A and B are shown apart, each in its own frame.
Chain A
C-alpha cells in the first residue's frame, strides 16, 4: 500500500513570494491533516479535513495561508506571501477516520530567504 505522498520535498524561495505544497493521502483515508514542524519541536496542526470539509482550521494563519481539498482526495496548502518565519517542515498526514492512527508523509522542507 502506497503511503502519503508529498511534493515538492524541498523548496527555497525569497520572502514575499508564493509557495504551494501538494499532498496525496493514502487511498480511502477520509481525514487529512496539514501540520507545521519547526526545528526541535513537535508537529503543530494547521488544518484538518473530513472528506472535502475543513473541520478545524483554527490554527491556520488565514491572512497568508490557504488550503483546499478538492473532491475529498488530494490537498494543496498555499502560502502567499511567504515570510521568513514560515521556514519549517510542512507535513501532511491522513487517517481512515478522525479517531484512527495518523500516517504521515515525508514532509516538504521550506526555506524562506
Chain B
C-alpha cells in the first residue's frame, strides 16, 4: 500500500515560472513532512520541511503548503531557474520512519 502519492510525475516550467508539486498521504500519524531535491548521481538533499502544526513554511524561493484536513501538502518553487532542474521527493515521517513519494522530475527551460 503506497502511503504517499506524489504528482505530477514530470513537470516542465519556463524560467521565472512557478513549479508546483503535490503530495497526499493516508496515515494520520505522520508528523514530519520533508521535501528532498536529488540531482543525477547524488543522494537526496533536504530542501525544506514542515510539521503539521503550521499551514505554510517559506524558505527563500521554496514554500511548503500543508492542509492537515485534506492530508495533502505541496511544494511551490517561485521564480524557477534552470539550476532547479532535478527530481523532487516528498516524504512523510512518523517515529523516525519515512515514506517517500515516487518523485517528480522538474525541467526548467531557459
Contacts and interface: CB of A to CB of B under 8 A. Distances in A.
Contact of B42 (A50, A99, A101, A106): A106
Contacts of A98: 95-96
Q: Range of interface residues on chain B? A: 20 to 34
Contact of B89 (A4, A42, A93, A103): A42
A48 interface: yes
B102 A40 contact: yes
Interface in B1-21: 4, 6
B96 A103 contact: no
A81 B81 CA distance: 45
A4 B95 CA distance: 22
B46 interface: yes
A50 B96 CA distance: 10
Contact of A44 (B36, B44, B49, B100): B100
Contact of A42 (B32, B43, B91): B91
A43 B97 CA distance: 12
Given A102-B46, A106-B41, A106-B43, A42 B96 contact: no
A97 B97 CA distance: 11
A56 B97 contact: yes
Nearest to A92: B43
Contacts of B36: 104
Nearest to B46: A101
Q: Which of B32, B42, B96, B102 has the most CB of A within 10 A?
A: B96
A89 B4 CA distance: 21
A101 B34 contact: yes
Nearest to B44: A104
Nearest to A91: B43
Interface of A: 4, 31, 40-45, 48, 50, 55-56, 91, 93, 97-99, 101-107
